Amino acid sequence: MAGGFMISSADETNGGHNAAYNDSHRLFMQTMLSHRVLTEEQAEVLYTKICHLVQCERSEFAEFISDINAQINDIDLSLRRSRDERDGSPLVGLVNTKEDEVAQIATKYTASEIAYFRQMLELIVMADDEKNAVGSMAALRLGQSMKPPMSQKDTQTLIDRLVEDGWICLTPDGSSYTVDTRGILELQNYLREQYGDVIQECAVCMGVITMGERCELQSCNVRIHRHCADTYFRGGQMSCPTCETGWSRANTYGLGLPL
């Protein structure tokens, strides 16, 4: 298996000196290579089951993740902990760390499909009124403008694959597509490098933000993930952390938040 080969290579690179790296780490990585993103709850349950299976002592989950990252860094992979922008649930994702992260989906997509995905990302990021979404019909028309053109059927099939693989998702009203959890986890460096002038960062966690809450003052660029706002404004004064304008939790940013 490709996943097993990569992990074995990492072990050999370190000369087998990391005794802490064992079958529990390898089995966890094989699962992550398949799923790519799990909720932290799912990941911890998986870790506990694996420890029982291989009969090894369970360490702290953060330490376990750190041990894996020490091994897979040389093969341009990393386990990142984050949160779902939509509901704030903690996540663990396996991401590529090479400079051009979009190119890493080439293992499953053709060059023309990757070119389409790049253009779709641009439409999402550059959308008017900070919607951070592209309409479903516009996404279909984009296929026809590619060189060579894609049929409507092939375009929809590709879009469905991108959704299934976690790169994009439908907005709650079903009218548009926005960047999904895996896309945010894996492509945050790419998005910053390509769209640094327009891509927004959460004022609380400093992560890339495509949906959340915004300052009521139009000239203020403060944007905050909803789950970060839940923590930031808990029991405190409801005002923008930068301009001190009164903060309305109903003043949303992007089209991806649950209705």
Q: Does domain 102-194 have CATH number 1.10.10.10?
A: yes
Can you give the C-alpha Rg of the chain in angstroms?
Answer: 20
Check whether 5 has a pLDDT greater than 60: no
Q: Is residue 34 classed exposed, middle or buried when 0-12, 13-18 and 19+ CB atoms within 10 A define those classes? A: exposed
Per residue in 9-52, pLDDT (tens digit) is 334 334 443 457 789 999 999 999 988 899 999 999 999 999 99
Return the pLDDT at 168. Answer: 96
**Contact yes or no for 234/64 (Cβ under 8 A):** no
Q: What is the pLDDT of residue 186?
A: 86
| pLDDT at residue 128 greater than cutoff 70 | yes
pLDDT tens for each residue of 154-171? 999 999 999 999 999 999
In whole numbers, what is the pLDDT of the chain averaged over residues? 88
pLDDT at 58 over 80: yes
What token pair was written down for 186?
């894996």
Alpha-carbon distance 104 to 220, whole Å? 35
DSSP characters over 69-130: HHHHGGGTEEEEEEE-TTT--EEEEEEE-SSSGGGGGGGTS-HHHHHHHHHHHHHHHT-GGG
Q: pTM of the full predicted structure?
A: 0.83
List the chain domain ranges: 2-75, 102-194
- Residue 122 above 90 pLDDT? yes
What confidence category does residue 184 fall into, taking pLDDT thresholds of 50, 70 and 90?
Answer: very high
Query: Residue 239: helix, strand or coil by DSSP?
Result: strand
DSSP state of 241: T
How far out from the chain centre does Cα 159 lie? 17
Output the CA angle 115-133-135, nearest 5 degrees: 85
The arithmetic mean of pLDDT across residues 189-201, rounded, is 91
pLDDT beyond 80 at 142: yes
